């Protein structure tokens, strides 16, 4: 599902109480809250859905598959998601 599709579905579910522009703004606000939580505390928990956690990936050596040259891969931040049991049960 794309963000545009999400806006359309939530607009429908709301019975048109909010405009599509206002619905998009609210979705952007939710994503912003998730991002802010990851930046400040390193995780975002949504009961019944799952946990997003910030993880630091260490610097490491890699190899260019074309030339075989060894390269240095710098450290970077990644986000991991662990689904809640209720979410996994609902998928099966």
**pTM summary value:** 0.76
In the predicted structure, residue 92 carries a pLDDT above the cut 80: no
Q: Output the CATH code of domain 42-92.
A: 4.10.520.10
Q: What is the pLDDT of residues 31-86, one digit of tens each?
A: 999 999 999 999 999 999 999 999 999 999 999 999 999 999 999 999 999 999 99
Q: What are phi and psi of 56, to 5 degrees?
A: -90, 120
- For residue 16, the model assigns a pLDDT of 83
Q: Are 42 and 80 in contact (CB under 8 A)?
A: no
The whole-angstrom separation of Cα 43 and Cα 37 is 6
Domain range annotation of the chain: 1-41, 42-92
Q: Are 50 and 82 in contact (CB under 8 A)?
A: yes
């Amino acid at each position: 599902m794309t963000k545009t599709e999400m806006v359309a579905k939530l607009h429908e579910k709301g019975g048109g109480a909010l405009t599509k522009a206002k619905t998009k703004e609210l979705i952007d606000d939710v994503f912003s809250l998730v991002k802010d939580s990851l930046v400040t505390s390193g995780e975002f928990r949504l009961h019944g859905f799952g946990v997003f956690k910030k993880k630091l990936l260490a610097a490491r050596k890699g190899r260019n598959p074309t030339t075989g040259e060894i390269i240095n891969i710098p450290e970077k931040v990644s986000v991991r998601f662990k689904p809640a049991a209720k979410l996994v049960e609902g998928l099966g």
